[in-house]
Structure 1
Amino acid sequence: MGKPTVHDIAREAGVSLATVDRVLNARPGVRAQTVARVREAVERLGYVRDTYAANLARQKQYRFAFVLPEGPNQFLDTFRTALGEATQAQAADRLTARVLTAPAHDPHAVVRLLNDLPTGRLDGVAIMTPETPQVRDAVSRLKSAGLPIVALVSDLPNSERDHFVGINSYQAGRTAGLLMGRFIREVTGAVLVVTQSMQARDSIERRLGFDHVMGEQFNGLSILPSVETHGDPVRMARILAQAFRANPGIRGVYSMGPGNAALLDALRPTGRLGELAVVAHELTPTTRQALIDREIDAVINQNVGHLVRSALRVLRAKCDGAEIFAAQERIRIDIVLRENLP
C-alpha cells in the first residue's frame, strides 16, 4: 500500500479536500468537531506531511532575521560566513536570512533594533544578545506579532523565546575549571577570569560552573573577581596590567568570551604566556595560532556550522508547526588542544 494522501484523509474523515487543507495548515473557519475528525483520520492512516512539497506548492518563503552584536569579532565573522553558506545551500527552499547588528554593550540600541524589525515581512528571528528586562519586553512584542524566536549562544531563558541554540554554558564552565586545575598542577595560586560582559547569560553560567569545579576539586587556588573588558583592547591591556601587579601569584587565565586577540596582546608583554595556564572559548584563527604557539593550552569550542544549521532548522520547524528533534539540535562541547587541532 502506498503512502496515504490528503485524498485518503478527506475520504476517511468524510470532508472536502479544502477542509483537510485548512486543518493541516491550522487555518481558521473549521468547526472543532471537524478538526478533531480530520486529525483522527491523519492518526489512523499514519499520514506524514511532506512539508517541502506543501511549501513549494504554496510558494511559501522563510524570511529570517539574525540579530548579532556588531564590531570586530572573529567568532561572529565565522558565524556570518557559515550563515551565508547555509542560506545559499537552502536557496531552493525559498529561505533567506538577513543579518542585523547592534552595539554589543548598548542594550537600548539592541531593543530599538528589535522594536524596528518589520514583523510583517519576517517569519522568524534569531537573537544573540544579553538578556535584560527591555530585551525580554521586545521579545514579547515579537512573539505577539506571531514570530518564532530563537536565542543564540547566550540564552534568554526568562523571555518568551521558543528555543535556545548553543552549548550548555554551565557545563562548559565546569569543563574549563577541570582543565585549568589540571594544567596549573599547583596547590596554591590565583586564576584570573576575563570576559567582555557579565551581563551575558553565557558568561554568568560559565563563571558559575567554573567556580563550582574549582571549589570542589582545586580549592587551594584563589579565583579572582571577573574582569569585564566591554570589547575595548585598551581597557583589556590596562586592567590586565593592574591585575598582575596586584596579584603576582596568578597562575592561570580563563577567557570566558570573545576578545582573545586583545587578551593575548595584553599578556605577551608580561613574558609569562609560556608559564601561565590559559583556557579560552571558540576556535578562531587567533586561538588556533595561539594553540600552535603554545600560548593557549585549550579551547572550548562549539561548532559554528552546527549552530547556524540548528537555528535555521528550529525556525523552519516553528514556522511549519513541525516537531523539533532535541538530539539533533543539541550543540556539543568540544575541547580543542594543540594535539587535536582539526
Structure 2
Amino acid sequence: MKATVSDIARTCGLSTATVDRVLNNRPGASAANRQRVMEAAKQLGYLPVADQVTLPSRPAHLEFFLPIGSNAFMMDLAAYIEDYAARLPLVASCRIHNLAGISPSALQAAVENLSLKANGVGVIAVDHPRTRNILREVVEAGIRLVTMISDVPAAPRSAYVGIDNRVAGRTAALLMGRFLGGRSGHLAMVVGSRSYRGHEEREMGFRSVLSEEFPNLTVTSAVEINDEPEVSYTATMKALHNEPELLGIYCVGAGRSGVAKALREAKPQRKPVFICHDLTRETRGYLVDDLLDVVIDQNARLIAEQSVIRLLGSIASSAPYLTRKFIEPRLILKENVPVQ
C-alpha cells in the first residue's frame, strides 16, 4: 500500500499542509522542514523511482551545457529540459547554458559560470583531451555529470543519455540500401563534425554496413560541415553537379536545411534518397514535401526527461555509475509523423 501525505506528516512530525507544500515545491516551508519531509518520503517509499533509479531526498540544482546555436533539435531539447524540470518538485532550479560553439574553449568559458549550488550537470560536448579534463574537474568538485547525445566515455560521467550512434549509422545504411533496391552507384555524406564521437560513430556504422551488405554503393563525397547549413548547401550542390546520377545523401548531424535547399534548387531528374537524423519542425516539412525519405529520430523529449532523471538518480546514488540504457531511436516516414 502506497504511503500518503498524512503518513509522511506523521513520520516527520509536521502538518499535512507543510508536507504538501514541500512535495509540490511551493514556497512557505523552511529548508530544514523540506529536508525532513523529503527524508520521510524517501523512507516510506513515496518518492518516485524511474527505471529503477531512486531519486534524491531533497531538491537538486541542475545545469545543462548545450551547443544550441541555430540548431532546431537543440532548441527543442533545451525547451523540453526546462519544461520537464519545472514540473518536478525534486528540481530546485534548472539552468541552460547556450555554448558559443563546440570547442573545448567554449565549454571552459561556460563552465566558469557554473553555480556554486549546482548538484548535477548535463553536457553535450566533443570527445577531446581538454574537454575530458574540464569534465573531470567538474566531477572532482562534487558535481554529478551526465553526457548527452554524444558520449565522452573517458570522462567520469555517471551516465550517458542518448541513442547508440553506431547502430543509428548502421540503420541508415540498411535503409539506404533497401530503398535503392539493388541499384549500383554513388552516395554523398554530410557529416556535422567528427569531433563529436556520436557523428564519428554514425559514419563508421554507415560505412560498415555498406561494405558488408551493399558493396554496389560507394560514398564518393563526405564533407564535414561543422553543422553549418550554408556549408551543407554548397557541398550538396557540388555533389549533385559532379554526380548527376547521385543515388543517395546521408546527413549525419545538422545541416539538413542546406541539403533540402540544394535539392529544391537543383531539381535533379531523379531525387536521391535522403536520410537524416532528428525530427524537428523543418524535417516534418521535408517529409511531407517528399524531399526527405526517412528521419532516424533520437526523441528530444525522451532524452530531455531521461537526462533530468539520470542526473537526479546519480545525485541520490552512492555508486559512481548508473546502469547503461540506450534511448531507442524512432524511424519516421511521412506516413507516421507523430503529432507535435
The normalised TM-score by structure 2 is 0.79
Match of 2:237 in 1: 241
Kindly indicate whether the alpha-carbon contact (under 8 Å) linking 1:165 and 1:307 is maintained by their aligned counterparts in 2.
yes
Match of 1:81 in 2: 79
Query: Is structure 2 residue 120 aligned with structure 1 residue 110?
Result: no
- Alignment deviations for residues 162-204 of structure 1 (CA, whole Å, 9 cap, x no partner): 1100000011111100000111224311111112211111111
Kindly indicate whether the alpha-carbon contact (under 8 Å) linking 2:68 and 2:75 is maintained by their aligned counterparts in 1.
no
Kindly indicate whether the alpha-carbon contact (under 8 Å) linking 2:190 and 2:224 is maintained by their aligned counterparts in 1.
yes
| Counterpart residue type for residue 73 of structure 1 | N
- Say if 1:222 and 1:146 are closer, same or farther in 2 by CA, change over 3 A: same
Select the structure that is richer in helix. 1
5+ residue gaps, structure 2, are 9-34, 49-53
- 1:214-229 to structure 2, matched below 5 A, reads 214-229=210-225
1:101 to 88, 98, 115: 98
1:150 to 146, 150, 167: 146
Kindly indicate whether the alpha-carbon contact (under 8 Å) linking 1:267 and 1:273 is maintained by their aligned counterparts in 2.
no
Query: Is structure 2 residue 253 aligned with structure 1 residue 260?
Result: no
Kindly indicate whether the alpha-carbon contact (under 8 Å) linking 2:192 and 2:224 is maintained by their aligned counterparts in 1.
yes
Larger radius of gyration: 1
Q: How many residues align structurally?
A: 299
Q: C-alpha distance in 2, partners of 1:302/1:311?
A: 13
Match of 1:184 in 2: 180
Kindly indicate whether the alpha-carbon contact (under 8 Å) linking 2:229 and 2:254 is maintained by their aligned counterparts in 1.
no
- Alignment deviations for residues 271-315 of structure 1 (CA, whole Å, 9 cap, x no partner): 128621011101111111111111111000122221111111111
Match of 1:14 in 2: none
Match of 1:167 in 2: 163
Secondary structure of 1:164's partner? Answer: strand
Q: Which moved more, 1:166-175 or 1:234-243?
A: 234-243
Query: Is structure 2 residue 201 aligned with structure 1 residue 199?
Result: no
Q: C-alpha distance in 1, partners of 2:102/2:161?
A: 21
Kindly indicate whether the alpha-carbon contact (under 8 Å) linking 2:232 and 2:256 is maintained by their aligned counterparts in 1.
no
Kindly indicate whether the alpha-carbon contact (under 8 Å) linking 1:107 and 1:135 is maintained by their aligned counterparts in 2.
yes
| Counterpart residue type for residue 111 of structure 2 | L
What's the CA shift for 1:100? Answer: 0.1
Q: Which moved more, 1:242-251 or 1:276-285?
A: 242-251
Kindly indicate whether the alpha-carbon contact (under 8 Å) linking 1:187 and 1:218 is maintained by their aligned counterparts in 2.
no
What's the CA shift for 1:115? Answer: 4.1
Task: Give the CA RMSD over aligned residues.
Answer: 3.0
Greater relative contact order (CA < 8 Å, ≥ 6 in sequence): 2
Q: C-alpha distance in 2, partners of 1:273/1:122?
A: 55
Secondary structure of 1:125's partner? Answer: strand
- Alignment deviations for residues 73-109 of structure 1 (CA, whole Å, 9 cap, x no partner): 110121122112201211x334321100112343311
Q: C-alpha distance in 1, partners of 2:277/2:283?
A: 8
Query: Is structure 2 residue 270 aligned with structure 1 residue 308?
Result: no
- Say if 1:238 and 1:182 are closer, same or farther in 2 by CA, change over 3 A: same
Secondary structure of 2:189's partner? Answer: strand
Aligned identity (percent) is 26
- 1:267-306 to structure 2, matched below 5 A, reads 267-272=263-268, 275-306=271-302
- Say if 1:121 and 1:278 are closer, same or farther in 2 by CA, change over 3 A: same
| Counterpart residue type for residue 259 of structure 2 | L
The normalised TM-score by structure 1 is 0.79
| Counterpart residue type for residue 76 of structure 2 | T
